[in-house]
Chains A and B, each alone.
Chain A
């Protein structure tokens, strides 16, 4: 596939991620932070997010698996996840965390378990999407093209 085609595909794909709510404007912030002095910023941040989140999800699963659930601890983990997903623009994950926290407050075991499922689901989805997107970018760069800049304007 030639570079122009790949670039178009990338743009379409990225656009769809915004349209479908996987990413919000905060992600654009990240892209703007990537420049010559910081050429891999997005990949680095996103990778950090993946590592961090997976650990948090494991901790959450364990915490909710206890015979007596410590909701404060659960809430603390969700708070972290909410913070990081919000910082990179993973909107659906963030929203799932928000719902999660309100159920933690209520100390509702069933609801929190459902929320955990929801959060995991959203996480894996956005992970897959981001990985696909970054892979497309890599392919373009490898083929000698440049990543089309996405601009904002009215």
Chain B
């Protein structure tokens, strides 16, 4: 399903549906009569394509990495040298790896309890590590990462075409109507829907075209928005750094990003499972209760509620349960009930009852969201606040301010 915060996905869908609807109702009949009947066909095809790719972007798992199992976390902790730091949070742990003669630092994720693979970033809105993290897009209500980047790119490109097509058709329609000295006002009065379309399309076509252009550049150089903004491979620090993931050929880069093999969802390995089954090899995130340890399960239910917003759950009770009771049996994991995989994943087989996204941490997340608004930006070319789900105006201006700081180099 979509991320924990679905952002403005309903708004995006609404805008597309309304604009296209108005186009088919007001402009198509006139244009079919005066021009060609291909117009609604092309419009219809583009509309369907846009909606499908939007829904795919929103509902596909972006490449969420499930949290490490308790044993793994323990194993990694053992490997890391503990300097006996008494501060609340240990110093950031990094591991260096050489990829294509470039030194890449792998950071340890305290939430997911693992060293993040290269190009992976932790999205605070979704509260998950996402592979090849591009950005969190409120417009589609999901992170854009390895698995859904191609859908996202197809969506924005097809949306550019669709918006430009509608804009062109509406302009043609209005100019045809205004012919013979009748004037634009008359034309607008005859076809009021076209006025709405004109406004919407005029303001969106530039931003969407700009965004498509930006992402085309990213695809051609095999970069992510995250890397581009941070300037990871642009050599800003004066060192001779190049993108180690680029294949140095625009065509090959495009193919590998957009047409490469589709990796499977790592959080969806087992689909639906009956709640009373206890399996040895636990799935990445859906873990089941061990009936022999009912007491631990009861202890866990409080912690379970607190975890409802995470798409992938740490099986370790001690991280989630208020009682902080550590599990002795590594294979005992609670089944938080089917609602768990609500947020943040596009896992297809994921379970019903989604509405639990508004969980206790929502309020905490809001302030975190405002702070992180700049980091989890939607689209740099959009001049809208990045955390639109905040109702008050305060965060939006704050977000803009933050945006200005972070994106100054884009201007």
Whether A associates with B in a native complex is no
Task: Give the interface of B toward A (CB within 8 A).
Answer: none
Q: Which residues of A contact B (CB under 8 A)?
A: none
